[in-house]
Amino acid sequence: MAFLELDGLTKSYGTLTVVKGVNLSVDKGKLVCLLGPSGCGKTTTLRLIAGFVPANAGEIRVGGKTISSAHSTVPPEGRNMSMIFQSYALWPHMTVFENVAYGLKLRRLPQSEVTKSVRTILSATQLLPLENRYPGELSGGQQQRVSLARALVIKPEILLLDEPLSNLDANLREEMRFEIRRLHDEFRYTTVYVTHDQAEAMTTADMIVVMNDGRIEQAGSPEDIYERPETEFVARFIGGTNILSGTRGDKDSVVGEGGLVLRCGSGSTAASGKTAVSVRHHDIELSSAKPKSADTNVTVGTVTRQIYLGSHRDYLVSIAGGETVRTVAPVNVAIPVGQEVWLHFPPEKCRALAQ
Amino acid sequence: MTSDIQVQALPVQGRRRSIDISWPTFALLTLVLSVLVLLPLFWLVYYSFRSDTGAGATFANYIALVADPTLLRAYGLAIGMALAVGVLACLIATPMAWLVARTDLPGRRTIRMLVTASFVTPPFLGAIAYEILAAPNSGIVNIMYRSVFGLEASEYLVNIYTFSGLVFAIACFTFPYVFTLVANALDKVPSDLEDASSILGGKSMTTLRKVTIPLVLPAMLAGTLIAILQALTMFGSPAILALPAGFHVITTKIWSLFQFPPRLGLAAAAALPLLIITVILLRAQKSILGRKGYTVLGGKSGTPRITELGPWKWPAIAFVFCVLSLTIILPYLAIIKTAFTGTVGDPINLSTLTLSHWRFVLFEFSATQLALRNTFLLGFLTATAVTAIALIVSYLVIRRSVPGSGFLGVLATAPVAIPGIVLGVGLFLSYANPTFQLYGTIWILLIAFMTIELPAGYQQMSSAFSGVHPELEEAGRIVGASRLRTLWDITAPLLRTSVVAAWCFVFVGTIRELSATILLTTANTKLVSVIIYDLNESGDLGAICVLGIILLAASFAVVFIANRVPVLGGSQMNTRG
């Protein structure tokens, strides 16, 4: 049975509903990423789980016990969770040691045990030499690790992370992604991680939940989300893609406005009316002559922009029907702007999207 | 760390069922603040419709307000005086602020400190200093003038007991409001705005005229309005300088209505327009400072550009020295001299130096000890109560823990629009009746001071609270601390410095209050500020100066102790970032 369950969870502020009936089950020991653009309701969902905001409808259950519902909310301090905040929220008047020890002291553990646990976690996060420093005397990455240590030391039932890496510079951010995954593999806490950075989600998560406008668009493993997006939003948000719209053809094909027929290897088309196909930039094959092998999934277009990026070239090609396709090609495929070019969309890379 | 200690969660032990106390707190505070703020206003309005002879509801008071020439004249003079003070303060303060903030004038930092220090001078003490300096007969300046030119005893150079003397004396102690606002605004106008004008071909005077001055204009206007407001609602200085000159301003006129036979209804009716004018002025000030497009005043970036004075350096120094002499150096020298010599006119030499005033004040004058005890007790109680209330109110407002808590913020800010004398009238009417019988006790003064100081305390605490990131508190909650525990362990230590600063601010403000006090004090509840006023009526300037020095010394001592004692916050927190 799932350990953490969100059931029809809804939150409104006045007339504005920011979380609209979210259903989600998280198994024990898994790391789940809530991923979405800003304003999609992911942080509010996290704060609902933490108990900082009461729900308007629906329930949150942990291990089968309801902790939030429209009628009652267990306060944050009664949930045995811990959280890592965007600002780290280290208490500036306490040393590293005191910051980490605070949660244990609240649990009235004997001093010797507190010291032992704090030292253990500080060495796991490589902070032991800094235990007597104040947060103001630490670098950004060190503050981040103190924040992790403080959250982990109390052995929470659920660990919550609210965009924990957004204040770090690019290099450190990459390093800390792996650090978070490493600590998760070591301690196996059920974790909910909020981010708007897909690379962060891909690196750390067992399951990615893509949110948009207060709803869950799709939930699944990183492979699922990237390779088998179910909606246009997910396809666009994760990894970037070309969306070609058209109407449903025979069997598994979609006919574009310019007459391009795309056979789709996966996905499902809308039963009637407009439907769409997603093809990733790097999955499109670009050549100056017409490919011989195929009669479908091929079209001709004109290069409207070409940029040299060192490792590859980035093309914009406008095709019949007025759509523009973005694709990448090896550096040695250099076709100048204005020239005719052939595009091949391999069927196994074309994913039909019903919505 | 291995997997055997993993998943056993550590629950928080010994948790009691927590009761949410924010609602009862909210209700209690709403009640307290309503009593403090709304009750006096209610009685003020009520009495303004009551006949003083005891017969029912009437408009007679309002009719008298329009018909009584002495009242109208008092209002006219007060408004004229306030406007004159505003203009004078602005004329002195703006060039000085520019010199200090934007030129290479030597000693800029010292000048700024001196002007800020003059905030601490109670205005009534300033007025008394000018009595010592410029009274027509006994004023030091006039005595020197007569002895230099060998003139008759009836000749004088300056006379402070005039309308212009009053304007001058008040402007001397209100110009720091304009100065501070304008200087801060000039600090914040980023140099790139001026650089942009220069690169487009603007000469430095053009840039000053077209860019810099328009940008600080709101600050100038706002500061001037504050100076006008201060002058309009001031009681001490007009009472000391205008009454001997034979005219009333509105504050002294209201006070005179309390003298026998008291005309309470008329006083209430006369106080209300003052309240309305204050509200209008404050709204005007707010809208001027809140105008869009001037947001750069809150901005960042760029060191201000410094103008080199060149040959103008000496005239500039002369100007600043002249202003500082008139507003700080001469008044303080006069006060110190008077405290240590026999009479005001005595020359200073070994034979005239005496401690007789100190002996008189500290050991012979019966009222001193009681007044000192009352003053410091009230200062202590007011500062503590106001800081505590402001702390809780700003917590509720900033953290929005109870719906409708914004209303508490409005209540806590409202008294800023109630002039001291108006509040004095309102409180007298509220608590001098047989139901409460607080008149004649120090409690009515405590209520008055709490109401007066609440806005300042609230403003300081709420800006301190916004400086504490809510996530710091949430981090405490999520690892298992209750709301109160979080407040105690995390918020309180982080706010300590601000709390101490707010406490000092309120304390210093309280021990020098006179406008409301003068209506609420009795023989048993004398305060230092009141006996200074009483002694002035009997002409005992030496004793006044001794008391003034004690008052100032106490203010500085409190501020000093608060900044130095580490337990109270001091500077230890700042080094930790």
Number of Cα atoms under 13 Å in the Cβ half of residue A354: 8
d(CA B448, CA B438): 12
Please, are residues B100 and B108 in contact by the beta-carbon 8 Å criterion? yes
Q: Is B467 on the interface with A (CB under 8 A)?
A: no
Per-residue pLDDT, averaged over B553-565, amounts to 81
Partner-chain contact A89 B472, CB within 8 Å = yes
Task: Answer with the residue of higher pLDDT: B231 or B199.
Answer: B231
Domain shared by A196 and A327, yes or no: no
CA–CA gap between residue A292 and residue B10 (Å, rounded): 67
As a whole number of Å, the end-to-end CA separation of chain B is: 33
Does residue A252 have a pLDDT over 90?
no
| pLDDT given at position A294 | 64
Average pLDDT, chain B: 83
Q: Which one of B7, B475, B482 has the shortest CB-CB distance to A85?
A: B475
Q: Which of A103-112, A243-252, B249-258 has the lowest mean pLDDT?
A: A243-252
Using CA atoms, how far residue B103 sits from A317, B210, B304, B468, in Å, is 60, 18, 10, 36
Same domain, A52 and A183: yes
What is the arithmetic mean of pLDDT over B537-547?
A: 88
Residue B53 DSSP symbol: T
Q: Which of B412, B445, B416, B419 is nearest to B431 (CA)?
A: B445
pLDDT in tens, A286-323: 888 887 766 778 888 999 999 999 999 999 999 987 88
3-state secondary structure B186-218: HHHCCHHHHHHHHHCCCCHHHHHHHHHHHHHHH
Spans of all domains in chain B: 59-304+312-341
How much is the pLDDT for B563? 72
Structural domain harbouring A178: 4-227
Is residue B313 within 8 Å of B98, Cβ to Cβ? no
Structure tokens at A110: 């004997």
Q: How far apart are CA A212 and CA A18, in angstroms?
A: 10
Residue B303: its pLDDT value, please?
Answer: 65
In the predicted structure, residue A19 carries a pLDDT above the cut 90: yes
Rounded Cα–Cα distance for residues B524 and B506 (Å)? 24
Which of A265-279, B139-153, B154-168 has the least mean pLDDT? A265-279
Structural contact between residues A303 and A335, judged by C-beta atoms closer than 8 angstroms = yes
* Burial annotation B238-276 (CB, 10 A radius, 16+ → b, else e): bbbbbbbeebbbbbbbbbebeeeeebbbbbbbbbbebbe
CA distance A92 to chain B (A): 7
Q: A234 lies in a domain?
A: no
Q: Under 8 Å CB-to-CB from B205, ≥6 apart: which residues?
A: none
Q: Is the pLDDT of residue B222 over 60?
A: yes
Higher pLDDT pick, A259 / A343: A343
| A233 inside domain | no
Chain A residue numbers with beta carbons less than 8 Å from the beta carbon of B491 are none
Same domain, A138 and A8: yes
Residue of A nearest to B4 (CA): A187
Among B12, B483, B573, the residue with its CB nearest the CB of A80 is B12
Q: Are residues A221 and A264 in the same domain?
A: no
Average pLDDT of the segment spanning A71-90: 89
Is the pLDDT at B12 greater than 70? The verdict is: no
* Rounded CA separation B128/B532 (Å): 9
Lowest model confidence (mean pLDDT) among A38-52, B134-148, B329-343, B346-360:
B346-360
Q: Which residues pair with A220 in a beta bridge?
A: A208
CA-nearest of A57, A51, A58, A56 to A73 is A51
Q: Are residues A248 and A346 in the same domain?
A: yes
Amino acid letter for position B318: A
- pLDDT value, residue B291: 58
User: pLDDT at position B300, please?
Assistant: 47
What number is the average pLDDT over the span B277-297?
A: 71
3-state helix, strand, coil in chain A (%, to 5): 30, 35, 40
Q: B481 to chain A nearest CA, in Å?
A: 6
Looking at residue B574, what is its pLDDT? 36
- Chain segment B358-398, per-residue pLDDT in tens: 888 888 888 888 899 999 999 999 999 999 999 889 888 88
Q: Is A305 within a domain?
A: yes
**What topology is assigned to B59-304+312-341 in CATH?**
MetI-like fold (1.10.3720)
Q: Tell me how far apart the alpha carbons of residues A63 and A157 are, in angstroms, rounded to a whole number.
A: 10
Partners of A27 on chain B (C-beta within 8 Å) are none
**CB spacing of B474 vs A50 below 8 angstroms:** yes
pLDDT at A104 (0 to 100) = 92
Residue contact B479–A103, C-beta within 8 A = yes
Is A276 in contact with A245 (CB distance < 8 Å)?
A: yes
Question: Nearest CA to CA, how far is B494 from chain A (Å)?
Answer: 7
CB contact under 8 Å between A50 and B478, yes or no, is yes
Residue of B nearest to A123 (CA): B1
Grade residue A222 by pLDDT with cuts at 50, 70 and 90.
very high
A122 pLDDT higher than 70: yes
pLDDT band at B120 (very low <50, low <70, confident <90, very high): confident
Percent of chain B with pLDDT over 70: 91
Are B96 and B323 spatial neighbours (Cβ–Cβ below 8 Å)? yes
CB contact under 8 A, A82 and B479: yes
Question: Is residue A232 domain-resident?
Answer: no
Residue A235 lies in a domain: no
Q: How confident is the model at residue B3 (pLDDT cuts 50, 70, 90)?
A: very low
* Whether pLDDT at A7 is above 90: yes
To the nearest whole Å, the CA of B16 is away from the closest chain A CA by 10
pLDDT at A1: 67
Least confidently predicted of B291-305, B477-491, B496-510, B560-574: B291-305
The torsion region of residue A214 among left (phi > 0), alpha (psi -120 to 50) and beta comes to: left
Q: Mean of the pLDDT values across residues B10-30?
A: 66
Q: Given a cut of 50, is residue B314 above it in pLDDT?
A: yes
Q: CB-CB: which of A28, A121, A154 is closest to B480?
A: A154
pTM comes to 0.77
Question: Among residues 15-74 of chain B, which lie with CB inside 8 Å of chain A?
Answer: 15, 18
Interface test with B, best of A65, A77, A143 (most B CBs within 10 A): A77
DSSP string, A277-319: EEE-GGGSEEESS--SS-SSSEEEEEEEEEEE-SS-EEEEEEE
Distance between CA B508 and CA A312 in Å, rounded? 71
A93 contacts B573? CB cut-off 8 A: yes
Quote the pLDDT of residue B88.
95
Of the candidates B529, B534, B503, the one whose C-alpha atom is nearest the C-alpha of residue B516 is B529
Asked if B567 reaches chain A (Cβ–Cβ under 8 Å), the answer is: no
Does the distance separating the beta carbons of B12 and A77 come in below 8 Å? yes
Exposure string for A318-331, b = 16+ CB within 10 A, e = fewer: ebeeebebbbbbee
What token pair was written down for B501? 């600063």
Predicted confidence band of residue B566 (pLDDT cuts 50, 70, 90) = low
Contact B480 A89 (CB under 8 A): no
Which pLDDT value is given to residue B569?
46
State whether residue B474 sits within 8 Å of chain A by CB: yes
Indicate which CATH number applies to the domain containing A250.
2.40.50.140
Dist. CA B353–CA B329, nearest whole Å: 20
Residues A83 and A219 in one domain: yes
Q: Is A187's CB within 8 Å of B6's CB?
A: yes
The pair of structure tokens assigned to A295 is: 């009669």
Structure token pair of residue B27: 């209700």
Does residue A91 sit within a domain? yes
pLDDT, chain A, mean = 89
Extract the tokens encoding A218.
Answer: 């799709």
Q: Which residues pair with B549 in a beta bridge?
A: none
Please report residues of A whose CB lies closer than 8 A to that of B490: 91
Instruction: Note the pLDDT of residue B263.
Output: 85
Cβ–Cβ under 8 Å, residues A76 and A114: no
Q: Is the pLDDT of residue B564 over 80?
A: no
Q: Count of alpha carbons within 13 Å of A179, Cβ hemisphere only?
A: 19
Q: Is the pLDDT of residue A279 over 60?
A: yes
Other CB atoms within 10 Å distance of the CB of residue B419 = 27
Q: Is the pLDDT of residue A349 over 60?
A: yes
| Residue that terminates a domain, selected from A194, A227, A260 | A227
Mean pLDDT calculated for residue range B294-300:
44
Phi first, then psi: what are they for B172, rounded to 5°?
-55, -30
Instruction: Judge: B479–A134 Cβ closer than 8 Å, yes or no.
Output: no
Which residue of chain A comes nearest to B496, CA vs CA? A93
- Give mean pLDDT, residues B258-263: 82
Q: Give CA–CA dist B532/B537, Å, rounded.
A: 9
Q: Write out chain B residues lying below 8 Å of A90, CB-based.
A: 475
d(Cα A211, Cα A36) in Å, to the nearest integer? 5
Virtual torsion, Cα A74, A76, A77, A79, nearest 10 deg:
60
Do the beta carbons of residue A340 and residue A318 sit within 8 Å? Answer: no
Query: Would the CB atoms of B1 and A124 count as touching at under 8 Å?
Result: yes
Checking if the pLDDT of B570 tops 70, the result is: no
Q: CB-based contact (8 Å) between B489 and chain A?
A: yes
Residue A250 has pLDDT above 50, yes or no: yes
At B194 the pLDDT is: 74
Residue A195: what pLDDT? Answer: 93
* A–B interface: beta-carbon pairs under 8 A: 116
pLDDT given for residue A8 in this prediction:
93
Set of chain A residues whose Cβ sits within 8 Å of the Cβ of B469: 87, 89
Measured between CA atoms, how close is A147 to chain B, in angstroms? 9
| Chain A: closest CA distance from residue B498 (Å) | 14
User: What sections of chain A are H helices per DSSP?
Assistant: 42-50, 96-106, 111-124, 140-152, 170-187, 198-204, 222-227, 232-237
CA distance B294 to B95: 21
Of B3-7, B151-155, B166-170, B349-353, give the range with the top mean pLDDT: B166-170
The single residue listed with the structure tokens 């949930």 is: A79
Please give, rounded to a whole number of angstroms, the shortest distance from the CA of B559 to a CA of chain A. 23
- For the record, the structure tokens of B562 come out as 């608060």
What is the number of structural domains in chain A?
A: 2
Quickly list DSSP for B253-303. Answer: HHHHHTSSSP-HHHHHHHHHHHHHHHHHHHHHHHHHHT-TT-GGGG---SP
Q: What are phi and psi of B281, to 5 degrees?
A: -60, -40
Mean pLDDT throughout B546-557? 90
Task: Establish if B469 touches chain A: CB-CB under 8 angstroms.
Answer: yes
- B475: closest CA of chain A, how far (Å): 6
Which CATH number does the domain housing residue A94 bear? 3.40.50.300
